[in-house]
Amino acid sequence: MTAITVLTCALLAGGALTAPFASASVRGDDGSGAGLVQRWFSWYSGRSGHASQPAAEPASLPTSWPTAWPAQPGVSGIGTAPSIAATSAAPTAPATGAPARGGNCADVEVVFARGTGDLPGLGVLGTPLVSAIRSALPGRTVNAYGVNYAADASQASAGPGATDMSRHVRTVAAACPGTRFVIGGYSQGATVTDIAIGIPFGASAGEAIPAGLAARVAAVVVFGNPLGIMHQTISQRSPVYGPKTREFCSLGDPICGNGANSAAHLQYMTDGSVQQAAQFVAGKVTGA
């Protein structure tokens, strides 16, 4: 998967996009995606006081997208993808996909929220992350759940996503007393995670994971977290989750680091962040 393919799947929106983009197509006015990128940076520059624009945009973007995401073993919350327009519609109702008590319980349950415009399921970053976590935890069973939310070009979808993440954790925790959780997200999915651990961001509200289950969450990993727009991190905001959180923000990323390089937001799949995150998770799960 190239960075160009990822651009619309994860598109820079994070949880930061608001009204100027709520009705915009994820692929942009001309079908290429470049229009939305430019509008985002124009809006972002006005909001933050940054006058700089990204150093460069991809020369071209794909004009068609996959219609289904490959099935992954031990992963729930994945199915045939709707059209991009459908993905940008109102958030879907929460669905936990949790096992019945005593059913298919795993040692570890990864709950991951994809980025804006990505296909339903774990997404372009969550899928390799789960694979890497499984490799880093030999001898342990690992299930995964892709948060069920719209991931649209509006901050409004992050709150319902947080509710789905929190309800899934709560339901699996009740059914599987021995399961520990790894939660996280990419771009807008990181905002989902913020809200789920009790850090409000923007105008979208959602349910947080119950305080009594915080100890069951072994690790939190986020990539390109829009919380950085406010010059904040999970480690600063949450004394409960901060010590078990790893936050990845590439140099120049405009979403988490107030940078001006749009490509930096697309590098987490290929810059070693996934492997580092998996090793961090393994350490937290095993206590190493």
Q: Which of 187, 238, 250, 273 is catalytic?
A: 187
What distance in Å separates the CA atoms of residue 183 and residue 187, rounded to the nearest whole number?
14
Active site residue 271: no
Active site residue 265: yes
Q: Which of 118, 152, 194, 253 is catalytic?
A: 253
What's the chain's length in residues? 288
Active site residue 187: yes
Active-site residue list: 187, 253, 265
